[in-house]
């Protein structure tokens, strides 16, 4: 049996380095040769993807080339390299290995920047919806101060909310790799709101005609990652990081939070517990990826022993009924190949507020001449047959139907994606959109 594997890796990505001071001893050999090597070698490795993404490498790195002579210590070298990686617009690009000296300098610079503070969020998560910005998560102190899911965000720190998100997305892209602009915009609504503990962020919120101004102090732990579903069905059970149960109308529901090796077995447990359901919602929002046997996962959704394209039905109790897959820009790497397979190979109807993150690729390691660090960079897209032969990297998997969140629904406790998914399962999919039909 073929075992197609796609491993996600924010491999020591240094994702939220806010600034790096001059920590680390001066390298007598100089950093210039390593810097020049990376400027020349990275575009060779990523040549095909740079072309596909429309990146002019010389133009993108012009300012960084001018900064090479100013790289005088280990911490500055790490920071400079991180900025070069960001120019690849590659969500998987990161540090695979740092020398002990570089690792020590980076940690020292982080500690100096943190000054004993934690990096945390305001416990509010935002999402663009058409030309609006909506609250899609609010918990802890934010909820206690009256922030509600579904509120429209008018301003963030006195800047129009959508403008603030777009600006923050660009700032994030300058510090770390994002394979698509929509993935960065999605991340700006949660990761982008995070900052040092004790700092504050101000919001102007609108619920109907009621306007509310609130300032939230960032406090707590690493609570700035999106959870996925806005309003999960009640009474869900869990297996690993996955959850499953039924919606109020009796549809089956599975939320896949990641893609581990044991996912096929986890699906067996969930599908066995769900039993006979008229339809299934496979919610993959915020799926962070992983690695598994993709054909074995797909096989859980066609009849046992049945051949459908390159797949064979398998598992204790495969599901063969109508199926809606929900995605968003938080679906990354192996999450995209799993979700995308259901759409591209005609098994399910896909909806979501935007395409998946577009970071699904084949990677290679690049070691600098001094051997002080090794990088991991994308060199080709996974699933080259997706998107009409363009693959996933730099594009994502677009849903059959774009379904923006509706603020008035969220305020009433209705997850817009669930509402639309259940409509589709009850009324049927657009003609020809899902070729699969179980054998009689």
Nearest alpha carbon to residue 344 among 396, 267, 420, 380:
396
Is residue 38 within 8 Å of 199, Cβ to Cβ? no
pLDDT at position 221 is 78
Nearest alpha carbon to residue 14 among 61, 83, 67, 70:
83
Domains for the chain: give ranges and CATH numbers: 1-116+363-383 (3.30.750), 119-217 (2.30.42.10), 237-360+396-427 (3.90.226.10)
Straight-line distance from the first to the last Cα atom of the chain, in angstroms, rounded to the nearest whole number: 26
The helix (H) or strand (E) run that includes residue 206 is strand 200-207
Backbone angles phi, psi at 8, to 5 degrees: -80, 155
Is residue 335 within 8 Å of 289, Cβ to Cβ? yes
Please report the DSSP string for 147-181 in residue order. Answer: --TT-EEEEETTEEHHHHHHHHHHHHHHHS--SSH
Spans of the chain, pLDDT less than 50: 1-28
Q: How far is CA 265 from CA 186, 292, 300, in A?
A: 31, 11, 10
The helix (H) or strand (E) run that includes residue 203 is strand 200-207
pLDDT at position 439 is 80
Is residue 182 within 8 Å of 164, Cβ to Cβ? no
Is residue 381 within 8 Å of 361, Cβ to Cβ? yes
In angstroms, rounded to a whole number, what is the distance separating the alpha carbons of residues 161 and 146? 18
Cβ contacts of 303 within 8 Å, gap of 6 or more: 313, 318, 320, 438, 439
- Tokens representing 177 are 């790799």
Q: How far is CA 286 from CA 186, 257, 309, in A?
A: 10, 6, 28
pTM, entire model:
0.92
Instruction: Please tell me whether residue 325 adopts helix, strand or coil conformation.
Output: strand
The helix (H) or strand (E) run that includes residue 246 is strand 242-246
In angstroms, rounded to a whole number, what is the distance separating the alpha carbons of residues 231 and 415? 6
In angstroms, rounded to a whole number, what is the distance separating the alpha carbons of residues 161 and 189? 10
Is residue 144 within 8 Å of 210, Cβ to Cβ? no
Please report the DSSP string for 96-152 in residue order. Answer: EEE-HHHHHHHHHHHHHHHTTPPEE--SEEEEEETTEEEEEEE-THHHHTT--TT-E
Is residue 128 within 8 Å of 160, Cβ to Cβ? no
Provide the CB-side half-sphere exposure for 354 (13 A, CA).
23
- Tokens representing 330 are 């938080």
Cβ contacts of 59 within 8 Å, gap of 6 or more: none
- Tokens representing 401 are 């139907």
In angstroms, rounded to a whole number, what is the distance separating the alpha carbons of residues 356 and 398? 7
Note the helical H segments in 309-406: 334-344, 386-389
Instruction: Please tell me whether residue 78 adopts helix, strand or coil conformation.
Output: helix
Q: How many CB atoms are closer than 10 A to CB 201? A: 18
């Amino acid at each position: 049996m073929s075992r197609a594997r796609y491993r996600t890796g924010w491999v020591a990505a240094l994702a939220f380095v806010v600034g790096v001071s001059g920590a680390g001893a001066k390298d007598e050999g100089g950093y210039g040769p390593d810097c020049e090597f990376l400027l020349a070698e990275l575009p060779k490795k990523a040549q095909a993807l740079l072309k596909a993404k429309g990146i002019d490498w010389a133009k993108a790195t012009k300012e960084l080339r001018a900064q090479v002579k100013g790289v005088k210590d280990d911490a500055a070298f790490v920071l400079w390299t991180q900025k070069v990686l960001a120019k690849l617009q590659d969500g998987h690009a990161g540090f695979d290995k740092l020398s002990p000296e570089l690792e020590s300098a980076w940690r020292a610079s982080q500690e100096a920047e943190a000054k004993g503070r934690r990096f945390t969020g305001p416990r509010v998560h935002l999402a663009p919806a058409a030309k609006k910005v909506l609250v899609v998560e609010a918990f802890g102190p934010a909820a206690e101060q009256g922030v509600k899911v579904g509120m429209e965000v008018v301003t963030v720190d006195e800047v129009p909310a959508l403008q603030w998100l777009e600006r923050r997305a660009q700032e994030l892209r300058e510090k770390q790799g994002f394979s698509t602009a929509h993935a960065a915009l999605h991340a700006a609504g949660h990761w982008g709101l995070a900052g040092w503990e004790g700092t504050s962020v101000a919001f102007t919120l609108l619920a109907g005609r009621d306007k509310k101004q609130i300032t939230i102090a960032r406090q707590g732990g690493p609570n700035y990652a999106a959870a996925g579903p806005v309003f999960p069905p009640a009474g869900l059970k869990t297996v690993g990081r996955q959850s499953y149960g039924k919606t109020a109308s009796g549809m089956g529901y599975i939320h896949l939070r990641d893609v581990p090796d044991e996912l096929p077995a986890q699906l067996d447990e969930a599908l066995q517990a769900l039993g006979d359901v008229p339809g299934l919602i496979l919610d993959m929002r915020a799926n962070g990826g992983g690695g598994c046997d993709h054909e074995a996962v797909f096989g859980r959704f066609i009849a046992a022993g049945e051949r459908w394209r390159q797949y064979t039905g398998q598992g204790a109790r495969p599901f063969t009924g109508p199926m809606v897959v929900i995605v968003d820009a938080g679906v990354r790497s192996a999450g995209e190949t799993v979700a995308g397979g259901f759409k591209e190979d005609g098994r399910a109807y896909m909806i979501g507020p935007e395409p998946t993150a577009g970071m699904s690729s084949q990677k290679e390691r690049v070691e600098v001449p001094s051997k002080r660090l090794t990088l991991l960079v994308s060199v080709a897209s996974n699933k080259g047959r997706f998107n009409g032969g363009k693959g996933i990297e730099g594009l994502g998997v677009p849903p059959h139907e774009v379904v923006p969140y509706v603020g008035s629904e969220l305020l009433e406790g209705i997850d817009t994606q669930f509402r639309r998914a259940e409509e589709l399962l009850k009324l049927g999919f657009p003609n020809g959109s899902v070729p699969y039909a179980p054998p009689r």
